[in-house]
Copies of this chain bind each other. A is one copy, B any other.
C-alpha cells in the first residue's frame, strides 16, 4: 500500500482523489501495489466523502513517514511554496499543477528535490492533462530544441473562437465564457496573458535549460484586441490566436513572450478551437511535433497529477536533466525576433509604403490594414512611429 496526501480540495485536488479511487485497479496493476489517499489538507473542514481524511495541520502530513508523495493543489505562491519546501525537505516527492509556483520558484524547488533525492514533478502545470513536459524533456531529449509555441490558455482561445465564429465583441464573448464556467469572475490572469506567460516560462526553462524570470517576459493578452482585426485577418486567410512562444534566436540567445498572432489557416495551430490547447515543439532532429487536447478541467488535470505520482514511485530521481539553474543570462528581448507584422493604421497605403516600403494590403476601407515583410519587433515599432497605428500583431511564419 502506497500512501499519498493531497494539499487542497478544490477542482484539481478533488479530481486527484476521484481518479485515485476510480482507476484503482489500473493504477495497482502498474505500480504493483495499491495507491491510497491518506490525508487531505484543508483550511476549513467540510462534510463529504473525504471528511475522515481531512486535517488543517500540515505537520501531521510532514511527520507521517508512511506518506511518500504530496500532491500540492493549493495554487499561488505563499502557502504552496512553504508546504512544498517542507514536504521535499522531509524526503517526500511533490507533484503539482501550480504553474505560478513552478515558473517563479521552480529552479529552487528542483534543486532542493535533487539534494533530497526526491521528485518535484509538474506535468499538469502546462496543458492540463496533455502530455507535454515529459515528452519535451525525455522523448525529445536527443534534440536541440529551437522553438516551443502554443495555445496555452483555453479561456482566451474560447473567447477568440466565439469572436471568429459569431462575430461577438470581446466583452460579450468574455461574458459568455464566464457563464459557461470557462472564465473566472476575475478573468485578468487569463485575458491579460499572465497564465499563458507562466506556462511559456516553464516550457522555456525545460527547453533551454535555464531559468527565465517571468518578470522579463512581455505578456500581452487579448483584452485590447479589436473584432475588426479578427475579421480582416480571417478574410485574408489567417486566424487570430493568443500564442506563448519561446525561441532560440539566430545569435544563440533565447527569448519568450505572449501575444496575439495572425496564424495562416493551413497551420495546424490555426484549427485549434474552443477551450482546446495545443503545444508545438520544434527540435533540430524531430522537426515539428504537436500535442493537442483539453488544457484544463478537473479530471484531465488530475490525470496528469496522478500519472506524475506514479512516475515518482517508479522512476529514479537521479536524472541529470531535471532542474535548471537560476542564472538567466542569454535572455534577449523578443523585440529582436524577426517576423512579418500586421498593422492597421488610420491612413492610406501611401503612408504604409512610406514607412515600410512594399507591403501586402489586406484591407483599404478608410483605414489601411497590411502585412510587412519580415522584420524585428524593434524595427516594426521604429518604422511605424510616424503612422497612426490602430493595431499591430506579429504573424506566425514558417
Q: Is the CB of B30 within 8 A of A320?
A: yes
CA distance A271 to B311 in the complex (A): 33
Which of B19, B138, B144, B209 has a CB less than 8 Å from the CB of A311?
B138
User: Using a CB-CB cutoff of 8 Å, which residues 304-318 of chain A contact chain B?
Assistant: 304-307, 309-311, 314-316, 318
Which of B23, B143, B272, B299 has a CB less than 8 Å from the CB of A287?
B299
- Smallest Cβ distance from A225 to chain B, in angstroms? 24
Q: Beta-carbon contacts of A283-306 to B below 8 Å, as 1s and 0s?
A: 111111111111001011011111
CA distance A135 to B141 in the complex (A): 14
Given contacts A30-B320, A134-B139, A141-B30, are A284 and B22 in contact (CB under 8 A)? Answer: yes
Q: Is the CB of B300 within 8 A of A287?
A: yes
CA distance A372 to B266 in the complex (A): 32
Contact residues in B for A30 (Cβ distance below 8 Å): 141, 319-321
Give the number of chain A interface residues (Cβ < 8 Å). 59
Q: Is the CB of B311 within 8 A of A285?
A: no
Given contacts A290-B293, A292-B289, A293-B289, are A138 and B22 in contact (CB under 8 A)? Answer: no
CA distance A290 to B290 in the complex (A): 8
Q: Is the CB of A307 within 8 A of B142?
A: yes
Instruction: Determine, out of A123-131, A185-193, A228-236, the stretch whose residues face the partner at the interface.
Output: A123-131
Contact residues in B for A180 (Cβ distance below 8 Å): none
Q: Is the CB of B143 within 8 A of A135?
A: no
Q: Beta-carbon contacts of A104-134 to B below 8 Å, as 1s and 0s?
A: 0000000000000000000100000111001
Q: Does A224 contact B (CB under 8 A)?
A: no
Q: Is the CB of A142 within 8 A of B26?
A: yes
Contact residues in B for A168 (Cβ distance below 8 Å): none
Q: Is the CB of A141 within 8 A of B307?
A: yes
Q: Is the CB of A320 within 8 A of B314?
A: yes
Q: Is the CB of A306 within 8 A of B142?
A: yes
Contact residues in B for A268 (Cβ distance below 8 Å): 271-272, 292
CA distance A209 to B142 in the complex (A): 28
Closest residue of chain B to A289, judged by CB? B293
Q: Beta-carbon contacts of A11-47 to B below 8 Å, as 1s and 0s?
A: 0000100011011001101111000000000000000
Contact residues in B for A300 (Cβ distance below 8 Å): 285-287
Q: Does A140 contact B (CB under 8 A)?
A: yes
Q: Beta-carbon contacts of A269-280 to B below 8 Å, as 1s and 0s?
A: 001100000000
- Smallest Cβ distance from A139 to chain B, in angstroms? 3
Q: Beta-carbon contacts of A302-343 to B below 8 Å, as 1s and 0s?
A: 111111011100111011110000000000000000000000
Closest residue of chain B to A273, judged by CB? B266
Which of B23, B129, B288, B305 has a CB less than 8 Å from the CB of A144?
B23
User: Using a CB-CB cutoff of 8 Å, which residues 134-178 of chain A contact chain B?
Assistant: 134-135, 138-144
Given contacts A142-B310, A320-B31, are A287 and B293 in contact (CB under 8 A)? Answer: yes
Q: Is the CB of B320 within 8 A of A142?
A: no
Contact residues in B for A320 (Cβ distance below 8 Å): 29-32, 314
A-B contact pairs, 9 of them (CB 8 A): A29-B321, A30-B319, A131-B289, A141-B307, A143-B303, A268-B271, A286-B304, A287-B300, A314-B319
- Seed contacts A289-B294, A314-B321; 16 additional CB < 8 Å A-B pairs: A20-B142, A23-B143, A23-B284, A129-B283, A139-B304, A139-B307, A141-B306, A142-B310, A143-B303, A283-B303, A285-B302, A286-B293, A287-B300, A288-B294, A291-B291, A315-B319
Instruction: Please give the residue numbers on chain A whose beta carbons come within 8 Å of chain B beta carbons, in ascending order.
Output: 15, 19-20, 22-23, 26-27, 29-32, 123, 129-131, 134-135, 138-144, 209, 268, 271-272, 283-294, 297, 299-300, 302-307, 309-311, 314-316, 318-321
A-B complex: 5 closest residue pairs judged by Cβ atoms: A131-B139, A142-B306, A289-B293, A285-B303, A131-B135
